[in-house]
Amino acid sequence: AFLDSAAYRRDSQRQWFVNRCQAVSSVSTALKAQFATSRQQSTFKYLAAFVAASEEKVKKANAKFLQQESIKFKSFFDTIEKNPLTGAQRQACLINEDCNLVLAGAGTGKTSTMIGRAGYLLASEQTKPEQILMLAFAKKAAEEMQDRQDKCLSAMLPQATPTIKTFHALGLEIISTVEGRRPTLTAFAEDNALFTRFIDNVVAELMQDAAYQEKVMKFCDCSPSLNSTSDVSQFLADFLVLFKQSSQTLAVLKKRIPKKDKSRFTLLIALFEPVFAAYQLHLSDRNEIDFADMIEKAIEYIENGRYHSPYQHILIDEFQDISQPRARLIKALLAQRDDVVLF
């Protein structure tokens, strides 16, 4: 039934059957020879043959399925976009492995493929719009893709098309679902000039202390690209953003100081620690979070089961831009359901 089903057979499904076959066949050869009926003997042979050739059998069954689907949905792929989708684009829409990576150069139709895949999953009734999560990194990219997708799929889906979100919108959705209210996002998150000005003010205040001022001068001496307090302030602002995105603690950071250039790194942490403390206190006093906090909190809610993912298909645009926290967020969603597919 598995090999004959009218669906793409994922490798995790094949592996499940292989494990079951091996468990059933784990009876010793002596016991099989002494007690197995002729029908059981033939079953053992059949299972052994499947285990030995499962990859080839599934590959052949999937090739047949792809050929049938290409014919069945030819009209859909011909008309979903202004130009008919290419053979490679159609393959990308149809192949439904556990994890699927599409490699495509600029201008080769990645967006068309994303929309074609979402449309195919819905047209073939494999899923519903609310079970598809489409992600883009930038708000503008998400809006442009949503507009294009709505135009392509609205005739087929008059009620709703899949919502295209940014990772930040997804994080807000997860936290809001669990907590029953939308978290307060700091103004710094979307106003870099405001954030930089805040760090400038913190550094200026710290510079009133002679010991801190001396450390800044020493740090500038061993960092040729830093020529002023303003340069140091910008450096610390950039470092703070990267540090929070890394999901590390200061204790871990201190342990990871390399022996080479140790004095410079020790100086950097001495300058950074009070700036970081002032920033965290600012957020805490106002009961606000930044983007890094939001992703961390969302991951926590998925991993501890307080958030139950409705998503069966996750499609991510420009995946090469993924960061470690965002990758952890996706891995947490994938780990929560056995039937979820990443594209």
Give me the torsion for CA of 326, 330, 335, 341, rounded to 10°.
Answer: -160
pLDDT at 340: 95
120 close to 70: Cβ distance less than 8 angstroms: no
Q: Is 129 exposed, middle or buried (0-12, 13-18, 19+ CB in 10 A)?
A: middle
The CA-atom distances, in angstroms, between 235 and each of 68, 129, 251, 272 are 57, 44, 21, 10
d(CA 164, CA 173): 13
Which residue matches tokens 């780990």?
Answer: 335
Amino acid at 258: P
Mean pLDDT (whole number) for 103-115: 91
Amino acid at 110: K
> How much of the chain, in percent, has pLDDT values that exceed 90?
75
**Mean pLDDT in the chain?**
92
129 close to 139: Cβ distance less than 8 angstroms: no
Q: Which tens digits make up the pLDDT trace of 290-324? A: 999 999 999 999 999 999 999 999 999 999 989 88
Task: Please name the helix (run of DSSP H) or strand (run of DSSP E) that holds residue 314, with its range, or none.
Answer: strand 313-316
pLDDT at 158: 66
226 close to 232: Cβ distance less than 8 angstroms: yes
d(CA 341, CA 56): 22
pTM listed for this prediction: 0.86
From the list 283, 286, 280, 270, the residue with the least C-alpha distance to 206 is 270
Helix (H, G, I), strand (E, B) or coil at 166: strand
Q: Is 269 exposed, middle or buried (0-12, 13-18, 19+ CB in 10 A)?
A: middle
Mean pLDDT (whole number) for 232-252: 92
